[in-house]
Amino acid sequence: MSNYAGITSEGLRSRATIPNKENNPVADDTKLQQEEEEKAHPDVTPSDAVSPVNEGANAAPQFAAPPNVTAPVNKGTDSKSEAPSQGRRLKNFSHTLLIHTVNRASPLSKESPEQDFRGFFNLSMLLLAVSNLRLIIENYMKYGFLLSLPFSGIAWLDWGWTIVSLTLQALNILTAYTLESYAKTDPSPDRPTRYRVKLLHVINITLTITLPTLICWTRITHPAISSISLFSATILFLKLVSYALVCADMRREAALKMFPPRQEEPHARDAKLRGEEANVKGDEMVYPENITLGNIMYFVCAPTLVYQPVYPRTKRFRRRFFVKRLMEFSLGIAAMYLLGAQYAAPTLRNSFDAVKDVHLTRMAERILKLSLISVVMWLLMFWCFFHCWLNMIAEVLRFGDRRFYLPWWNAKDVSEYWRLWNTPVYNWGKRHVYLPLIINHKVQGMAATLVVFTISALLHELLIGIPTHTINGWAFSGMMAQIPLVLGTQLLDRLRERFRNQTDGKIFDTIGNYIFWISFTIVGQPTCVLIYYYHYVARQKAMGL
């Protein structure tokens, strides 16, 4: 009944009839009566001016009501003015109201402008919550409460060697600064100083990654605490490479008295904050003014892997923003620990025999079950690190460029995902590996891409294999397997171009996005985790641990 509440004698203003004004005497008489009424009462405006049912181009023309429909009596006028007219409200509802006046599509059709699926989204979220609630109850009934204090199983000796590793990394930073301070005293490109500094930089950068790796492999047994030390060393390794290369170029330009304008990356100003003016110029700090301890320490702490003498800065520290990110980071870490200890650990333990016996069906079931936990933990890791942690550091340092990631979840293929999801690493690889190979050494684009993927694959194997004490090449192979997958998904680009006239191309974008999610998060990550867990447990059992 509520659907028809708006159709009343009071709410009905006009109705449409036969679209023939010339042969409609009723309409002419009504029009004359309305004109006389307006002359008699110029201060009264008709309450129901004729209006179309639909303002679109296909709306049917509207005309006056027939004379058999009576109008309400206006008590403030005489009997002559009580004649029915179009300017009065209708007293009774007429069943001749037009319903179908224009061409319209069903709401679920592609042609419909009413593409609003919020209800379906709410339903999917509700089903997801109910499904996960069932898994939580099932997990508790089967395993009980498995949580313990975080880091309670880490030996004190592991903490001690981690402190040693971090101390050595601090010495590597001071060494890099000392080398650049020495190099600026003799900036001539033809002097032996240039080659000595370059050699010493290579040695220092090599020790930055090798010493923590040896400590983690030989002294630290717990994978979590080992990952902290090695992850820090890997970041510092990439930063010192950038610092040495940029300072070398600036030193050569200063020696030759050539100061070319600094070129910007094509997308360096994308999504600039409204009201924030660009406050970084390429020539704002000239070599050797940038060779200071404060400058290198700011770069080491800044949430970027590429060195610049100056960076865009925000005007003030936002305390509320920082506290909000800190709370999100804490909740995300707690959720990751809960999922890992309560759900991932039992699933991995129950998968050991399936991997050992190479039971393919059982392994497939374990991988699919692990994929649900893996993708949630991976998304939490992304949120905690790239959004919360890096934004917290940037807020403390007032670092202005917060493009730590781009919308990788909409990636149309695997190559686009690698360009979007980790912007700091992508910028480092593009600036210091890819472009120098293409521009300076005239290497083909595919060969330069292969070099970048090889470096990334080695670092992935290092970050996964060393903490788990399992160097088996699976992480390296998984990264290198991305290259044929990238080439395969490029077929979608050709199909998109070929069928551009027949389709809008979104179908191929959707297919590419599905390929990315399936290959990377549904199959790739869980399989890699399962294999490394098997080798880690097998090694622990062999050592009697």
Most confident of 146-160, 178-192, 284-298, 479-493: 284-298
Cα(405)–Cα(427) distance, rounded to whole angstroms? 11
- pLDDT reading at 203 higher than 60: yes
Which residues have C-beta within 8 Å of that of residue 19, sequence separation ≥ 6? 60, 61, 63
Instruction: Express each pLDDT in 454-480 by its tens digit.
Output: 999 999 999 999 999 888 888 898 888
Mean pLDDT of 289-295: 93
- pLDDT reading at 366 higher than 90: no
Cα(81)–Cα(37) distance, rounded to whole angstroms? 7
- Backbone φ, ψ for residue 15 (5° rounding): -140, 155
Please identify which of the residues 222, 359, 387, 460 carries the catalytic annotation.
Answer: 460
Mean pLDDT of 421-434: 94
Place of tokens 């040495």: 244
Provide the pLDDT for residue 501.
Answer: 61
- pLDDT reading at 26 higher than 50: no
Provide the pLDDT for residue 279.
Answer: 60
More confident residue, 163 or 502: 163
- pLDDT reading at 285 higher than 80: no
More confident residue, 185 or 182: 182
**What is the DSSP track for 367-433?**
HHHHHHHHHHHHHHHHIIIIIIIHHHHHHHHTB----S---GGG-SSHHHHHHHS-HHHHHHHIIII
- pLDDT reading at 50 higher than 90: no
Provide the pLDDT for residue 326.
Answer: 96
Provide the pLDDT for residue 229.
Answer: 93
- pLDDT reading at 431 higher than 90: yes
Provide the pLDDT for residue 187.
Answer: 66
Provide the pLDDT for residue 267.
Answer: 58
pLDDT confidence tier of residue 14, bands split at 50, 70 and 90: very low
More confident residue, 163 or 471: 163
Please state, rounded to an integer, the average pLDDT across all residues of the chain.
Answer: 80
pLDDT confidence tier of residue 15, bands split at 50, 70 and 90: very low
Annotated catalytic residue 535: no
More confident residue, 279 or 524: 524
- pLDDT reading at 75 higher than 50: no
Provide the pLDDT for residue 303.
Answer: 96
**Separate counts of helices (H) and strands (E) for the chain:** 19, 0
Provide the pLDDT for residue 512.
Answer: 83
Provide the pLDDT for residue 206.
Answer: 97
Q: How many Å is the maximal CA-CA distance in the chain?
A: 115
Provide the pLDDT for residue 311.
Answer: 93
Provide the pLDDT for residue 264.
Answer: 60
pLDDT confidence tier of residue 314, bands split at 50, 70 and 90: very high
Which residues face 63 on adjacent strands? Answer: 15
Most confident of 100-104, 285-289, 302-306: 302-306
Instruction: Express each pLDDT in 97-129 by its tens digit.
Output: 888 888 888 888 877 777 788 888 899 989 988
Q: Shortest CA distance to 201 belongs to which of 239, 144, 150, 153?
A: 239
More confident residue, 187 or 200: 200
Provide the pLDDT for residue 233.
Answer: 96
- pLDDT reading at 270 higher than 60: no
Provide the pLDDT for residue 413.
Answer: 83
Most confident of 190-194, 206-210, 340-344, 361-365: 206-210
Q: What is the pTM of this model?
A: 0.75
Mean pLDDT of 28-55: 48
Mean pLDDT of 434-463: 92
Mean pLDDT of 342-361: 86
- pLDDT reading at 428 higher than 90: yes
Most confident of 151-160, 172-181, 250-259, 347-356: 172-181
- Backbone φ, ψ for residue 399 (5° rounding): -75, 125
Provide the pLDDT for residue 523.
Answer: 84
Provide the pLDDT for residue 60.
Answer: 43
- pLDDT reading at 391 higher than 70: yes
Provide the pLDDT for residue 268.
Answer: 55
More confident residue, 419 or 193: 419
- Burial of 427-462, coded b for 16+ CB within 10 Å and e otherwise, reads bbbbbbbbeebeeeeebeeeebbeebbebbbebbbb
Provide the pLDDT for residue 59.
Answer: 43
**What is the DSSP track for 3-49?**
GGTT-STTT---B---S-STT-HHHHHHHHHHHHHHHH-TT---S--
Q: Shortest CA distance to 230 belongs to which of 434, 23, 418, 460?
A: 460
The percentage of residues in the chain with a pLDDT greater than 90, rounded to a whole number, is 37
